[in-house]
Amino acid sequence: MSESKTRRGPRGGAAKRDSGARGAAKGEPAARTVKRKRRLRIGISCYAHFGGSGVVASELALELAHRGHEVHLIASRLPFRLRSFESNIFFHESSPAFYPVFEDAPSNLALAAKMVEVVENYSLDILHVHYAMPFATSAYLARQIMLPRQLGVVTTLHGTDITVVGAEPSFFRVTQYSIQSSDRITAVSRFLKERAESTFGITRPIEVIYNWVDPNVFSPRRVGRLRLAGPDTKVIMHASNFRAVKNIPVIIQVFAEVRRKMQAKLVMVGDGPEKAGAEQLARELGIHRDVLFLGNQDCMEELLPLADVFLLPSSSESFGLVALEAMSAEVPVVASNAGGLPEVVEHGFTGFLHDPGHIAGFVNSTLKLLTNEPLRRTMGRRGRRVARERFTADEMVGHYMRVYESLR
């Protein structure tokens, strides 16, 4: 398998980023500062497809690279959020060879083999994996293969690796063992840390490091040519990977109620197993002309500012990165009070939270925001302030750096 230096599309996401010298002394290039501190070589492994864990891993890779560290991304393909060339980031594709005997290609073994190869060839200090399954297991295997070589393995728990699929009996013991075998464990919310401890009996310390948002990328609406609806039509937006935990039918039902009362459009961004059912439900409820299913989009920073309200009624949500991105764009959030969402969205201050199945609650809160522009704007501005002050890259990446340094 050939190694290729990361090449990304021309969309210019990174150019808009508040890049470069974060953490460096004034007038001093970041790389020089790091040189004094010591430049780390960090492997990062994650899912490449649309989803929050891959976004966080990619944003972390970018932040580390901007600070002058050398980052080696190991994934089945280039993660979607890496859209432009970035020096200091190297991409290593992991894919299993095909053989007719296989029922399913053993991709987890190929991943472990690629981890070994990259760690050895590039003398990595740290291997940081995102989402326990299968990444923590492949990292465990890779490290065992390389013994007695020292390699720090960090596992970040993201959500359904703990709350849904990792806890399935067919995966439980291997997930538990792989997490416990990591040198350091982090979780993206207090909720997720507690859930990992109670479900898996994890006894090793779990550090909570929240996700962050770049307020220069996710910024409020500017006057521009991009529109999703006419000037008198309010826009409600949802974005996810359309899995059962996202409560997609509730979104359609809430919108049907709102639409009865006012002119509005529902913009659904993303794709997944629940999408076809949602399209069907929208037709059955006679609202399909006002529901736009945009499919997967990798320009959330362009879409979110066009929303008047962001809706996220998940039955389970460890953090809700997209809710934070909406807040950063000054869009108030109406969400469920499930999981870690109350750690991100404050009820009555930056949005409204209700029980996941409480359709009337979601409808009332959405209508309250859409019919009271001063309230909507106030909550939106507060959301941006909270995003800028409490969920910063400097704080969270600094925390990850301390985790890495503790392993050296």
Q: Which residues bind ligand GMT (CB under 6 A)?
A: 47, 51-54, 56, 158-160, 188, 211, 241, 245, 316-321
The residue (of 45 and 53) whose beta carbon lies closer to ligand GMT is 53
CA atoms 365, 366, 368, 369: torsion sign: positive
Residues 267, 290 contacting (CB under 8 angstroms):
no
- 113, containing H or E segment: helix 107-122
- 239, containing H or E segment: strand 234-239
Work out the end-to-end distance of the chain between its first and last CA atoms, rounded to an integer number of angstroms.
30
Sheet holding 291-295, edge to edge: 291-295, 264-269, 234-239, 309-312, 333-336, 351-354
The two tokens of residue 407 are 């392993």
Q: Is the peptide bond before 220 cis (omega within 30 degrees of 0)?
A: no
Residues 184, 407 contacting (CB under 8 angstroms):
yes
- 397, containing H or E segment: helix 393-405
CA atoms within 13 A on the CB side of 238: 30
Which of 371, 352, 370, 372 has its CA nearest to residue 362? 352
Smallest gap from residue 264 Cβ to ligand GMT (A): 26
Residues 338, 316 contacting (CB under 8 angstroms):
yes
The residue (of 13 and 54) whose beta carbon lies closer to ligand GMT is 54
